[in-house]
């Protein structure tokens, strides 16, 4: 599918990434995971010993970075990176940088491919003009259980109550931040992903069919 933008927003651990990957394969769309960009920046700051609120040094690092990759990397999924990514994501100057980067990337390539992009502000701020906006809903206990399993499967040590606590904290950070808080975007279709993924996917496929 060419020339199509589908956005997927939702809280941490709601399955946005899995849904985006599925749609990418099913409908031949390019998948962009916007969280990867925040994670890459967080990783760079940690590597360079720059604090998450050291504006001059963060800006210096961002200025040097012309081509951040959307490629996935196991290191970027580490819990420490998750926490730092949500810490830097509160800054307007970081969000402006990431949003501009994403828009330029998508509009440079939209003639050759369509996109499915997932994140926390994709339909509400970054691509308000998207052809289809989805908002994925899953309660925090189900999300914490899934996240715990992901970490264990990835070979990380993990304690379930700690994961639940971190999910709650990240929700507060994402929903209460001043800049681009996580909200249901205007015109978005809410998708309940508490139950069987198959059910959520068939609802989404019906919506995508209407676009083509």
State the minimum distance, in angstroms, from the CB of residue 63 to ligand C5P.
20
Tokens of 27: 């409908």
Question: Beta 114-119 vs 189-192: how paired, if at all?
Answer: unpaired
State the minimum distance, in angstroms, from the CB of residue 37 to ligand C5P.
8
C-beta of 4 vs 7, nearer to ligand C5P:
7
State the minimum distance, in angstroms, from the CB of residue 192 to ligand C5P.
19
Check residue 123 and report its DSSP letter. Answer: I
C-beta of 24 vs 82, nearer to ligand C5P:
82
Check residue 124 and report its DSSP letter. Answer: I
Residues 6 or more apart whose CB falls under 8 angstroms from that of 67 comprise: none
Tokens of 168: 């709650």
Closest CA to 38 of 95, 108, 93: 95
State the minimum distance, in angstroms, from the CB of residue 40 to ligand C5P.
10
State the minimum distance, in angstroms, from the CB of residue 51 to ligand C5P.
17
C-alpha torsion angle, residues 205, 7, 170, 95 (rounded to 10): 170
Binding site for ligand C5P (CB under 6 A): 12, 34-35, 38-39, 82, 85-86, 89, 119-122, 170, 174
Question: Under a CB-based contact definition with an 8 Å cutoff, are residues 143 and 11 in contact?
Answer: yes
Q: How far apart are CA 208 and CA 72, in angstroms?
A: 25
């Amino acid at each position: 599918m060419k020339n199509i933008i589908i956005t997927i927003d939702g809280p941490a651990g709601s399955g946005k990434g899995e849904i985006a990957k599925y749609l990418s394969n099913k409908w031949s769309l390019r998948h962009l995971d916007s969280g990867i960009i925040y994670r890459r920046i967080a990783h760079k700051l940690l590597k360079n010993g720059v604090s998450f609120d050291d504006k001059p040094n963060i800006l210096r690092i961002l200025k040097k970075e012309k081509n951040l990759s959307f490629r996935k990397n196991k290191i970027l999924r580490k819990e420490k990176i998750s926490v730092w990514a949500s810490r830097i994501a509160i800054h307007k100057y970081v969000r402006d940088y990431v949003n501009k980067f994403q828009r330029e990337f998508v509009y440079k390539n939209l003639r050759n491919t369509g996109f499915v992009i997932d994140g926390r502000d994709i339909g509400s701020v970054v691509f308000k003009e998207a052809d289809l906006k989805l908002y994925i809903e899953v309660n925090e206990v189900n999300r914490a259980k899934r996240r715990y399993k992901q970490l264990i499967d990835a070979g990380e040590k993990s304690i379930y109550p700690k994961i639940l606590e971190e999910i709650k904290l990240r929700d507060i950070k994402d929903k209460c931040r001043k800049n681009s808080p996580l909200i249901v975007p205007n015109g978005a279709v809410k998708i309940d992903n508490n139950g069987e993924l198959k059910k959520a996917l068939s609802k989404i496929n019906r919506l995508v069919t209407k676009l083509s």
